Amino acid sequence: MRFIYSFFFLITSFFSFAQDSKVEVFKKDSLLIIPKNTEKGFHNEYILFIPKGTPINKKTFLIVEPNNTGKISDSIQLHKAYAIDLASVSSVGNNVSTMLKIPLLVPIFPRPASQPLTYTHALDRDVIMENSTELKRLDLQLIAMIEDAKTILTAMNIEVDSKIFMNGFSASGTFTNRFSFIHPEMIKALAIGGFNGELMLPEKKFNNVKLNYPIGINDFTKIFDKKFDINTFKNIPKFIYMGKLDENDAVQFDDAYSDEERDIINTNLGKIVQERYLKCQENYNKNNINSIFKTYENVGHWTTSDVNLEVIKFFFKEMQTN
């Protein structure tokens, strides 16, 4: 069940992960499937992975990575299986959790074939406007899961910070980017990659074209019944990366964007992934968004040991800040 890149064993000394002999730690990897709790506000299950070595009675952090099945299906068991794999085996978030000895939360959100345009795993406009009990406001359901996880961890004497780390790649990277706009006060630091070169922009207009959610913030107040907190969003430390060979482009598909959204993006930010990635970087830099941008040579729509290491080092540094 456990898979860790072999190179990680060579860098543990760099992070000084050896536990103080006086600090009690979690003795083994544990994977908990938490049932849905409608009274608490989440209508789907979630996974809580607690790695061996997680400190007990000592302040730490919770990292959250949204699930990303990569396909549509009406079988929640399929999405659950992929989420379990993400939480316990094959994700950047799992590697961060394992190496930094911090718990990881992964929601089990569906991505139904019966609603193929509702791209739940990317938190697109369709899902934000969704009114069905299971899919309504997945961002708020995730917050409810986070609060529930904190209660469970506290009962285990694992104390986590009030703010979370958040990580995502591909659709889950897009989810994380959009979630950080809606709830910036929740996040201590975030890392995202493989997001089609398309970042949500802190702009109401671009080239005099209105940018509604999820491209920009023109109708943000109307949708979320609050103002966009630009200052809090700006100050979140962000590690944002793409492979230079990454041409995976969800923008051109109907499940990710409407025709109107696609036309706005292609016309104003670029039809090519790498082109719009540069445009988004320029916009974030212009707006003084606290971001580290990194492009990896000879990397496509995947992660590598170098990518994982830099994400781990990024979060490790943020663990040391107040």
| 45 to 117, 158, 305: CA distances (angstroms) | 22, 21, 30
Give the per-residue pLDDT at 309.
95
Q: Can you give 233-289 as a three-state secondary structure string?
A: HHHCCEEEEEECCCCCCHHHCCCCCCHHHHHHHHHHCCCCHHHHHHHHHHHHHHCCC
**Residue type at 248?**
N
pLDDT of residue 91: 87
> Which helix (DSSP H) or strand (DSSP E) does residue 8 occupy?
none
For 221, residues 6+ apart whose C-beta sits below 8 A from its C-beta are 227, 228
Q: How far apart are CA 170 and CA 45, in angstroms?
A: 22
Instruction: Confirm whether 98 is domain-assigned.
Output: yes
Q: What's the pLDDT score for residue 23?
A: 61
The whole-number pLDDT of residue 22 equals: 58
State whether residue 125 is helix, strand or coil. Answer: helix
Domain span including residue 92? 22-319
- Is 300 a domain residue? yes
Nearest in space to 92 (alpha carbons), one of 184, 176, 154, 32: 176
Residue 205 lies in a domain: yes
Q: Which of 129, 134, 109, 131 is nearest to 120 (CA)?
A: 109
Residue 278 falls inside a structural domain: yes
pLDDT at residue 249, rounded to an integer: 96
In sequence order, what are the beta bridge partners of 237?
A: none
Domain assignment present for residue 7? The answer is no
In a domain, 10, yes or no: no
Quick one: tokens of 257?
A: 């964007």
Regions of the chain where pLDDT drops below 70: 1-23, 322
Cis peptide before 116 (omega within 30 of 0): no
- Domain presence at residue 16: no
Structural domain contains residue 17: no
* Amino acid symbol at 21: S
What pLDDT score does 240 carry? 98
State residue 321's pLDDT score: 83
> Total domain count for the chain?
1
- CATH code (residue 239): 3.40.50.1820
